[in-house]
Structure 1
């Protein structure tokens, strides 16, 4: 594939390689423990949950007992390979805002931990999205409260560690409480990272991992972003009554946690594919955070320096990055609808605005789960003629940025990246090609 003559196809190929590297079927077998003396129970949550469950079924000894329950996002159960027997139940629920189906599934998951013994094994399959899918409100909170708080967090600009600190302390299953409920059984967690730094205690709010954050931290975050909780719940946080299990808790002795796929691995795979095509590849970081539009501007400045000055890299090259940026949703005047779009789209708006039609620069930004925010696209494209084509159609980029409306802007250009669910999730993927 010639990146000069087919830049879109080249960037799409890099994205596909990155996603393929993170698929559970390619990464699970090496981390499975041997069957225990007693029962093997599989529990899990996340956007990769359905694919992870199928991978376990594919590699678990056929004569060894296996059952359990995993919850994933709507439309995120992959097609079942021919001949693969289903032994783990997979149900669907809402993401990123929890719903009643998620609540019912979580109650069932917690109930399945009853009666476990030290001879039993609990295999926990955890991936990004599990914070919303594994929902069990703390005492004094309703599902409606959790939905409101979750929406407020998503719109606030809080980073993923801050959001999940709050979620842990307002839950009866996250922040290590699921593993605590499994005691005295052995717990082995297989996780796919979708967070900067690959901290298992942050992925899906760490349902099987002890938590170093505190109720005081959660209260501070809520205050910082102006998010209200019911008075009795605030009192429980203030008193420490909603504290999570802490490092050193003996109930977690002997537990194992394995990262089976990470953002860095996917970026490395994409870089290798680029070099195989004769294009130099540079990975900035797999831990990028910050406002999506601002991260887009930084990438634009780097691409312009490469294109115009040959520094810090020589062209042709592709600049890769990952991580989890944020979008602070701006309030709109009465009667003006809030825009649509996610982190990848907003990054592309910021990038295109700052590039100002820079020749020979092409970019793709997409979420590796195939869904940018809550829309049906994975992300968007940026090309040298993005702004000029948009102006011809009356699409003024400043106005779309003001209302966080990346989806409409790129849909109007035919430049949405649409893949459908990928059945994995290692977070943001960004590739900027400078020819």
Structure 2
């Protein structure tokens, strides 16, 4: 266990302040800007396209924008939940588009974002890199119904799943089989480009095939 900072209030004399300090330390450690650098791959010979979905998508995109070399190409599209795009840090240029959609029941904005994200995988080469930013909530935000299904079908099924009492793994197992983009299909669409996925987990066990229904994990 890491020792508390010398500035951390003592638990015996200031218990409330001590707990608040522990909470704030945990929140700060989870912020993408504080933990992304160690996991970024080197820039490729070609383009870097950032795609993603999740409630932390806006913060993850901003972290990549802040950390990516300014002289290297960077573009892409990430979808996050309504009102979940954080204020832009001072001095960080906007290079990745962030759009918002509905969660936990998908809507037309999420469908449009998923269609655009799938389109951005076209024309990639083996010199290109696709950086996927995946976090909790991505399953609803990245909705692209399988052939024969409509958005209304997906909305009804999502509501039924949410009311069923099923666990997140069970729900996302159903969701990925009703999607043209989940269950690894999004990664497959990127071939022959290199694919790297950065994930913030919100599911017990951290199974990458369950987080956001695994758009890059079959």
TM-score (normalised: structure 2): 0.92
Seen in structure 2, the aligned counterparts of structure 1 residues 5 and 141 have a Cα distance that, compared at 3 Å, is farther
Structure 1 counterpart of 2:174, from 153, 166, 171: 166
Deviation at 1:13, TM superposition (A): 3.4
1:92 and 2:100 correspond: yes
How far has the Cα of 1:34 moved from its partner? 1.1
CA–CA distance in structure 2, aligned partners of residues 20 and 206 of structure 1: 26
The 2-side partners of 1:6 and 1:34 are apart by 45
Let me know the Cα RMSD of the aligned residues. Answer: 1.4
How do residues 101-112 of structure 1 correspond to structure 2 at under 5 angstroms?
101-112=109-120
Which of 186, 190, 193 is matched with 1:185 structurally? 193
Call closer, same or farther: CA 1:155–1:64 in 2, change over 3 Å.
same
Deviation at 1:16, TM superposition (A): 2.4
Deviations 1:8-36 (A, max 9, x none): 55444333222211110011111111111
1:141 paired with 2:137, answer no
The whole-number CA distance in structure 1 between the counterparts of 2:41 and 2:61 is 15
Name the SS for the 2:131 alignment partner. strand
User: Deviations along 1:171-190, whole A, 9 cap, x unmatched?
Assistant: 00011000011011110001
Separation in 2 of the partners of 1:51 and 1:163? 26
Q: Name the CA distance, whole Å, in 1 between partners of 2:161 and 2:11.
A: 40
1:26 aligns with 2:27: no
Structure 1 residue aligned with 2:129: 121
- Does the alignment pair 1:76 with 2:94? no
Where do residues 280-429 of structure 1 align in structure 2 (5 Å cutoff)? none
* SS of the residue 1:191 aligns to: strand
SS of the counterpart of 2:50?
A: strand
What is the rounded CA distance, in whole Å, between the counterparts of 2:193 and 2:48 in structure 1?
10
- Counting matched residue pairs gives 210
2:209 maps to 1:209: no
Once residues 148 and 6 of structure 1 are traced to their aligned partners in structure 2, the CA distance between those partners, rounded to angstroms, is 50
SS at match of 1:201: coil
Deviates most, 150-159 or 129-138 = 150-159
- Which of 5, 19, 23 aligns to 1:15? It is 23
Per-residue deviation, 1:6: 6.0
Runs (5+) with no aligned partner, structure 1: 211-435
Is 1:152 paired with 2:160?
A: yes
**Aligned equivalents of 1:125, 1:99: Cα separation in 2:** 20
CA drift of 1:194 comes to: 1.0
**Which structure is richer in relative contact order (CA contacts within 8 A, separation 6 or more)?**
2
Instruction: State the alpha-carbon separation in 1 of the partners of residues 48 and 179 from structure 2.
Output: 25
State the partner residue of 1:195: 203
**Which residue of 2 is the match for residue 326 of structure 1?**
none
Deviations 1:70-110 (A, max 9, x none): 00011111111111100000000111111111111110000
* Corresponding residue for residue 61 of structure 1: 69
Q: What's 2:3 paired with?
A: none
Q: Measure, in 2, the Cα distance between the counterparts of 1:91 and 1:112.
A: 15
Flag structure 2 segments of 5+ consecutive residues without an equivalent.
Answer: 1-8
Closer, same or farther: CA 7–144 of 1 in aligned 2, 3 Å: farther
Please give the per-residue CA displacement for 1:394-422, whole angstroms capped at 9, x wherever unaligned.
Answer: xxxxxxxxxxxxxxxxxxxxxxxxxxxxx
Q: Distance in 2 between matches of 1:178 and 1:162?
A: 20
What's the TM-score once normalised by structure 1's chain length?
0.47
2:183 equivalent in structure 1: 175
